[in-house]
């Protein structure tokens, strides 16, 4: 914690606070610290302010509360006072809608609806089909988008909208449009094969350095 040195343009600097970005231990120590703050201070603030739901993924937090009984600005102040080295910012719902991670949550009268959220700066470029990458690498992004579309609780119209977006991404990167139906069918079949208990993993082969062999 006290030896966060780095070099920039032949000059060495020391970081006075926080963890070094990119260090192997930084993510683990950050998670430990956040869990400690949650248990010792944030949990009390949630109870005192009648927070109905608290969901955190890394440094993104979603809270659910009843507006007449909870002053959300006071909650934000409590979070920021929990630790002097961190400051929390807040984004409120607009027109009963809020984005959390890659999901758009919309509040209806008796239920919630969900849609896939993409930032305005997000690119629709994936590994083009006409490159020399292995097929597993090229199809990875498409697999991920299909899995997300089928896993999230999307309405029929939102699922169709997401399917059209994936088709456009596939077209923009020179893939055959039929690859979507093929991969989607493969995902659907694999998900419903209950008798297959085998688990497979892929490892990239790395040739050993002969200078380290004795």
Is the same domain home to 68 and 109? no
Is the same domain home to 83 and 59? yes
Strand runs labelled E in the chain:
5-8, 11-14, 51-57, 60-65, 97-100, 103-107, 112-116
Is the same domain home to 87 and 100? no
Is the same domain home to 100 and 160? yes
Is the same domain home to 68 and 23? yes
Higher pLDDT, 183 or 76: 76
pLDDT, average across residues 140-147: 90
Task: Indicate the pLDDT class of residue 213, thresholds 50, 70 and 90.
Answer: very low
Is the same domain home to 135 and 186? yes
The residue out of 69, 92, 115 marking a domain boundary is: 92
CA torsion through residues 181, 183, 184, 190, sign: positive
Nearest residue to 106 (alpha-carbon basis) of 96, 92, 91, 121: 96
For residue 2, tell me if it sits in a domain. no
Question: What does the longest C-alpha to C-alpha distance in the chain come to?
Answer: 72
- Give pLDDT tens digits for 45-97: 999 999 999 999 988 999 998 888 888 899 999 998 888 788 899 999 999 99
For residue 201, tell me if it sits in a domain. no
The residue out of 92, 124, 147 marking a domain boundary is: 92
Is the same domain home to 36 and 57? yes
For residue 149, tell me if it sits in a domain. yes
Is the same domain home to 38 and 57? yes
Check pLDDT > 90 for residue 13. Answer: no
Nearest residue to 127 (alpha-carbon basis) of 63, 87, 180, 170: 170
Nearest residue to 165 (alpha-carbon basis) of 152, 180, 185: 180
Check pLDDT > 70 for residue 208. Answer: no
Is the same domain home to 27 and 55? yes
Predicted TM-score (pTM) of the model is 0.70
Q: Which residues of 157-190 are buried (b: 16+ CB within 10 A; e: fewer)?
A: ebbeebbeebeebbeebebeeeebeebbeebeee
Is the same domain home to 37 and 54? yes
Range of the domain at 73: 14-92
For residue 213, tell me if it sits in a domain. no
For residue 9, tell me if it sits in a domain. no
Is the same domain home to 37 and 77? yes
Higher pLDDT, 177 or 212: 177
The residue out of 92, 108, 138 marking a domain boundary is: 92
pLDDT, average across residues 191-198: 61
Q: How far is CA 128 from each of CA 122, 124, 133, 181, 182, rounded to the nearest angstrom?
A: 17, 11, 9, 18, 18
For residue 127, tell me if it sits in a domain. yes
- Give pLDDT tens digits for 27-43: 899 999 999 999 999 99
**Which range (15-19, 75-79, 175-179) has the least confidence?**
15-19
pLDDT of residue 159: 92
- CA dist., res. 153 & res. 177, Å (int): 25
List residues bridging with 99 in a β-sheet: 104
pLDDT, average across residues 158-168: 92
Is the same domain home to 45 and 126? no
Tally of structural domains, the chain: 2
């Amino acid at each position: 914690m006290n030896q966060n040195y780095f070099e920039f343009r032949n000059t060495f600097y020391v970081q006075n606070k926080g963890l070094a970005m990119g260090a192997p231990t930084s993510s683990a120590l950050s998670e430990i610290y956040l869990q400690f703050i949650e248990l010792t201070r944030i949990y009390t603030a949630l109870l005192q302010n009648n927070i109905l739901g608290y969901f955190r993924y890394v440094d993104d937090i979603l809270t659910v509360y009843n507006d007449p009984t909870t002053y959300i600005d006071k909650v934000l102040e409590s979070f920021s006072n929990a630790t002097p080295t961190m400051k929390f910012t807040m984004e409120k719902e607009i027109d009963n809608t809020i984005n959390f991670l890659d999901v758009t949550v919309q509040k209806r009268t008796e239920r919630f609806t969900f849609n896939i959220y993409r930032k305005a700066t997000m690119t629709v470029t994936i590994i083009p089909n006409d490159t020399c990458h292995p097929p597993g690498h090229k199809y990875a992004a498409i697999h991920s988008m299909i899995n997300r579309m089928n896993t999230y609780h999307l309405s029929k119209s939102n699922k169709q909208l997401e399917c059209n977006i994936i088709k456009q991404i596939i077209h923009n990167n020179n893939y055959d449009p039929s690859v979507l139906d093929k991969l989607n069918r493969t995902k659907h079949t694999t998900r419903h094969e209950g008798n297959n208990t085998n688990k497979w993993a892929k490892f990239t082969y790395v040739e050993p350095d002969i200078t380290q062999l004795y």
